[in-house]
Amino acid sequence: MTKRLTEVAKKAGVSEATVSRVLNGRDGVSEATRTAVLTALDVLGYERPTKLRGERARLVGLVLPELQNPIFPALAEVVTGTLAQRGYTPALCARTIGGVSEMDYVEMLLDHQVSGVIFAGGSYALADARHDHYRRLTDRGLPVVLVNAGVDELGFPRVSTDDAVAVEQAYGHLRSLGHERIGMVLGPEGHVPSRRKLDAMIRAAGWGEDDAECVQRSSFSMEGARVAATKLVERGVTGIICASDVLALGTIRAARRLGRSVPTDISVVGYDDSAFMTCTDPPLTTVRQPIETMGQAAVDLLVTQIEGAGVLQDELLFEPELVVRGSTAPAPGR
């Protein structure tokens, strides 16, 4: 019982005494705090006291493209914890290969009469993908927030990392190390955040048509990145900026298979600063997304809509941070 009180109190952001008062049905607790405690019970998998089981917590969907990339579980931890503190029960929906599609998840969430939905890394970020299911949410007037850049015409509030600043930081770091031949491994052609990163690189490096060979596209997988990065290394690139940490790890693998050393021959910069990037060989230099701040902001935006306080249509941009580790070094010959 003591362990349960401690865990629920931490998840709900209240004292153990407050949790005890809620579970025992005592007065002196606000409705918002009471709801947060009951939601924390649900999230942690504890049964509610019998007299409280008839009360159903409000549901909010969190739709993720996958859980293999550590950045998405990290975001899920922030969002679900913040939702619980605000009195909502998170419904985590993660897509898998051959599993439930994002469109199907939307239908399921609508069937469960959710109060709102937060999307991260979904079809909204792909310009050439189908967006019909998002319009269903708009037609229903359901509050929605997107994490990171999406196509403009959807009109949902967005919480994004500033891709331009991320590229400026990564490019400036490699240039300071003497790298002149710098390439990029990005997501698919229609991936909006990758488009933003490329636009920023064109501005920062002054790229023209002849520099197109310094850009390679990939699915967000290590194997896809390995194939893409191999072409860059064979073209004499010594510094590579990647659109995710997973792509960066695939790039390191490509360099090694070609007999090159990272960072002696090839410097690699990732993007996300997801879990365990300090434990890779070498530890990965990367641009950190402020996931905790962004996750909390996404929940704040959603709850503001749910409570009828209006919708902020502007995109909130959060500044990333370059984290220098062992995968970058002076250019060969410097």
Determine whether 281 is exposed, middle or buried from the number of CB atoms within 10 Å of its CB (0-12, 13-18, 19+): exposed
Q: By three-state DSSP, how is residue 312 classified? A: coil
Pairing of strands 144-147, 158-161: parallel
Pairing of strands 182-186, 239-242: parallel
Residue 318's pLDDT is 97
Residue 54's pLDDT is 46
Q: By three-state DSSP, how is residue 179 classified? A: coil
Q: What is the distance between the alpha carbons of residues 3 and 295, in angstroms, rounded to a whole number?
A: 27
0.85 surpassed by pTM = no
Q: What is the pLDDT along the chain (334 residues), one digit of tens a residue?
A: 577 888 889 998 999 889 888 888 787 888 888 888 888 887 887 766 655 544 444 899 999 998 889 999 999 999 999 999 998 999 999 887 677 889 999 999 988 888 999 999 889 999 988 899 998 898 888 999 999 988 888 889 999 999 999 999 999 999 999 999 999 999 999 999 999 999 999 999 999 888 889 999 999 999 999 999 999 999 999 999 999 999 999 999 999 999 999 999 999 999 999 999 999 999 999 999 999 999 999 999 999 998 887 777 779 999 999 999 999 999 998 7
Pairing of strands 267-272, 239-242: parallel
Residue 267's pLDDT is 98
Counted residue by residue, the chain has a size of 334
What DSSP assignment string belongs to 245-260? Answer: HHHHHHHHHHHHHTT-
Residue 56's pLDDT is 44
Q: By three-state DSSP, how is residue 69 classified? A: coil
DSSP H or E run through 164: helix 163-176
Across 46-73, b (16+ Cβ under 10 Å) vs e yields: eebeeeeeeeebbbbbbbbbbeebbbbb
Q: What is the dihedral of CA 20, 21, 22, 24, to 10 degrees?
A: 80
